[in-house]
Amino acid sequence: MRWDVTENDVAQDGRRQAGATPDGERAVAGGQVATRPRSATHGAVAVAGLVAFLLALVILHADRPFGDDVVKSALFILGMTSAAVLLVDLLWLKAYRRTSTGLDFGRDHPSWQRSLFKFAGLLGSLGFVALLYWLFPEYHGDFYDRYYAMLRLVLPPWLALALPYLYFVDRKMAQPFDGYWHLGRLVTMQWDKVDVRIVGQHLLGWLVKGFFLPLMFAYMCNDLARFLATDYSQLNGFKAWFDLLYGLFYFIDVGLVAMGYLLALRIADTHLRSAEPTMLGWAVALVCYEPFWSLYGRQYLAYDTGFKWGAWLWNTPLLYGIWGSAILLLTAIYVWATVSFGARFSNLTHRGIITNGPYRWTKHPAYVAKNLSWWMISIPFVAQGSGDEALRHCLLLLAVNGIYVLRAWTEERHLSRDPEYVAYARWIDENGLFRFLRHLPSQNRLRYRAA
C-alpha cells in the first residue's frame, strides 16, 4: 500500500535540473557525480547544537535553576539547543533564502483568509493527534505524564505565536496552498478545492511527530533525571566511565531527536518535504520502537542471552578496555549521525538530504554503528550453553539486523524521489566506505532514480 505524493512533490524545486547536484554541478557520464553534493546542514550547526546541549546540562547540574522539575529542565536544554541551532542556520547560513523552503522574499501577497485556513489546519492536525492519544490505551499510562506536562507548558504560547507566524510565512510562499491550507479547508467543510493526497501526506507527517515525540521526550526526561542525580566525584575506573559515557551518548541522541520533532519550520528549511508513503516502510520502522518492540521483539527476536560482555572479559582488563572502547566508539558514531541532522532529524520523513558528518562515508552510518554495537554488547556467539543455543541467538540478531536493512531500503526508495538524494547516493556508491558492495548482483535492485 502507498500513501502517495507530497504537498508540492519534491521535484517542484525550480532550480533542479536533470542530473544536477545541490551545488549546481552536473552529473558526469555514466550516472556518477563528480563531487559530494552539498548537505542540507552544515557542520557548524551540529557543533553549535552539541555544545549548547552539553552547556545546558552543566548549568542544570551545577545550579539546579528548576529544582527537581525534570520537565522544565528538559525544556531548558531543548530551548538552549534549539536557539544555538537556529541562530547558526538563520543568521549565518541564512537557510531561509534557500529555494527548498518554498519562500520568495521578493514576493509579498498577504492573505488573512489563507492564514486562517492554515490555522484551522494546524488545529485540525493537533486534534487528529489528540484523538489518537485519547483512543489508544498506550497513551493513558504514566510513562507519558512528563510529555503531557510539557504540552501544557508549551502549547499555549506556541498557539499564540502560530497565527502571526503562519501569516508571515504564507505571504512569502511561492506556492501557499500547502497541507495546512488543504486540511483547514477540510475541517471547515469547504471541500471543493481539497486535495486528499496532500492532506494524506500532511497527516502522515503529524502521525510521525505524534508517535515519536512523546517517546523521545519521555526517554530524554528519564535520562536527564538520572544524570542530575549522578555523583561525578565517584567516577573511578573504566567501568564507571563507560557507563557514564554510554548513557550520555544515548541521552544526547534522544534529546536532539526530540528537538528535531519540535522544530519543523519552513523558514529554517527544516520543514517536512514528504512522509514515507508505504506500509512496509512504516512497519519496519515502528517495530523497532516501543510499544511494538515489546509485542514482537521480545517474543520472536530476543537475541540477548543474558550473558554480558563485561562478565565475559572482566578477568582480562586490557581486552575489557579495548572491547568497551570499541562499543563507545560505535555508539559515538551513531550519535554523531543524529547530531549531524541539526534540527532536521525525523524518522519516516524527508526534511533535507544530509551528506556531511558520517554521511560522507555511508548512507546509513547510524544503522551500521548501532547494529555492530549490538553484536559487541550482547555477544550472542558466546552464549552459555550448547553450540546450537549460540547459533540460535546469532540468527535472531541477524534477523534484527535484517529489519534495519529493510529500513534502509525503504528509506532509500522514499528519498530517491528527490534528485538531490539520487546524486548523493550515486556519489556514495563510487566513493563511500562500502563502495565494493555495488558489484554484488543484489545491488542491481537498489539503483537510484528519481521517481
pLDDT single digits (tens) 110-123? 999 999 999 999 99
Q: pLDDT tens digits for 329-376?
A: 999 999 999 999 999 999 999 999 999 999 999 999 999 999 999 999
* Residues 438 and 362 sit within 8 Å (Cβ to Cβ): no
Q: Which three cell numbers stand for residue 90?
A: 538563520
Residue 125 CA to residue 389 CA, distance in Å, equals 49
Q: Specify the DSSP class assigned to residue 27.
A: P
pLDDT at 162 over 60: yes
Residues ≥6 apart with Cβ < 8 Å to 15: 24, 99
Cα distances (angstroms) measured from residue 311 to each of 290, 392, 396? 28, 21, 22
Instruction: Provide mean pLDDT across the span 187-191.
Output: 95
Residue 88 CA to residue 439 CA, distance in Å, equals 40
pLDDT at 321 over 50: yes
Q: Which three cell numbers stand for residue 53?
A: 546541549
Instruction: Provide mean pLDDT across the span 401-410.
Output: 97
pLDDT recorded at residue 29: 41
Instruction: Provide mean pLDDT across the span 235-243.
Output: 93
Q: Which three cell numbers stand for residue 77?
A: 536544554
pLDDT at 291 over 70: yes
Phi, psi of 72 (to 5 degrees): -65, -35
pLDDT recorded at residue 62: 92
Q: What percentage of residues in the chain have a pLDDT greater than 70?
A: 89
* C-alpha atoms less than 13 angstroms from C-alpha of 121 in its C-beta half-sphere: 26
* Residues 78 and 259 sit within 8 Å (Cβ to Cβ): yes
The chain-wide mean pLDDT, for the chain, equals 90
- What are the boundaries of each domain within the chain? 10-446
| pLDDT band at residue 15 using 50, 70 and 90 as cut-offs | very low
Instruction: Provide mean pLDDT across the span 279-283.
Output: 97
pLDDT at 54 over 80: yes
pLDDT recorded at residue 129: 98
Which residues are registered as beta bridge partners of 103? 173
pLDDT recorded at residue 376: 97
409-435: b (≥16 Cβ within 10 Å) or e: bbbbbbbbbbbbbbbbbbbbbeebeee
Exposure of 379 by Cβ count < 10 A (0-12 exposed, 13-18 middle, 19+ buried)?
buried
Stronger pLDDT, 69 or 444, i.e. the higher one = 69
Q: What percentage of residues in the chain have a pLDDT greater than 90?
A: 82
pLDDT recorded at residue 440: 66
| pLDDT band at residue 447 using 50, 70 and 90 as cut-offs | low
Q: What angle do CA 394, 364, 255 make, to 5 degrees?
A: 95
Q: pLDDT tens digits for 60-93?
A: 999 999 999 999 999 999 999 999 999 999 999 9
| pLDDT band at residue 222 using 50, 70 and 90 as cut-offs | very high
pLDDT recorded at residue 32: 61
pLDDT recorded at residue 388: 87
| pLDDT band at residue 135 using 50, 70 and 90 as cut-offs | very high
Stronger pLDDT, 346 or 11, i.e. the higher one = 346
Is it true that the peptide bond before 291 is cis, omega within 30 degrees of 0?
yes
Instruction: Provide mean pLDDT across the span 280-289.
Output: 97
Q: pLDDT tens digits for 243-262?
A: 999 999 999 999 999 999 99
* Residues 55 and 255 sit within 8 Å (Cβ to Cβ): no
Q: At 39, is the secondary structure helix, strand, or coil?
A: coil
Lowest mean pLDDT among 145-154, 335-344, 366-375, 378-387: 378-387
* Residues 27 and 448 sit within 8 Å (Cβ to Cβ): no
Q: Specify the DSSP class assigned to residue 121.
A: H
Q: At 70, is the secondary structure helix, strand, or coil?
A: helix
| pLDDT band at residue 386 using 50, 70 and 90 as cut-offs | confident
Residue 353 CA to residue 423 CA, distance in Å, equals 10
Stronger pLDDT, 20 or 394, i.e. the higher one = 394
pLDDT recorded at residue 364: 97
pLDDT at 290 over 50: yes
Which residues are registered as beta bridge partners of 20? 26
